Amino acid sequence: MLQEHAHIAIGQRTMVGRHVELVPQGGFITIGSDCSLNNYVVLYGAGGITVHDGCRIATGVVIVAFNHEFGDLTRPIHRQPITARGIVVESDVWIGARAILLDGVTVGRGSVIGAGSVVTRDVPEYSVVAGNPARVVRHRDPSGDHGAGSTVSLRHP
């Protein structure tokens, strides 16, 4: 489902799966080239969402670029304001299935977000994060020298 088409930009060769929801909510959603948004991905872009080139967003990921205020006990929550700082996902990032990214975060280039993680703060470049809240569990070698056939594991040694 696409809403507010004028506020959505999708780069070349980017794959958008079934039942993906891109909802700018008055903000914007920009997806770079050579990305994939697998089935059931949801992006709420009130504060703006920018996903740079070459990113993989797995099934069921939710990215929410706003937050509800709830501090005024004299008003119902639905009548309180929202904040909207935005989210940036830099190039070559893999976001695992059912991960959640919350407003105000930047995910650094070359990072991996473990499946089911809840990202509440910035992720440094070439980091692997996992958990709720997500925390760095290891770093990737930005030189790419991992040896033949090596992979990055999310298991913490």
Which residues are marked as active site? 68
* SS3 labels along the chain: CECCHHHEEECCCCEECCCCEEECCCCCEEECCCCEECCCCEEECCCCEEECCCCEECCCCEEECCEECCCCCCCCHHHCCEECCCEEECCCCEECCCCEEECCCEECCCCEECCCCEECCCECCCEEEECCCCEEEEECCCCCCCCCCCCCCCCCC
Quote the CA–CA distance of 50 and 78 in Å, as a whole number: 27
* Rg of the chain over all Cα atoms, to the nearest angstrom: 16
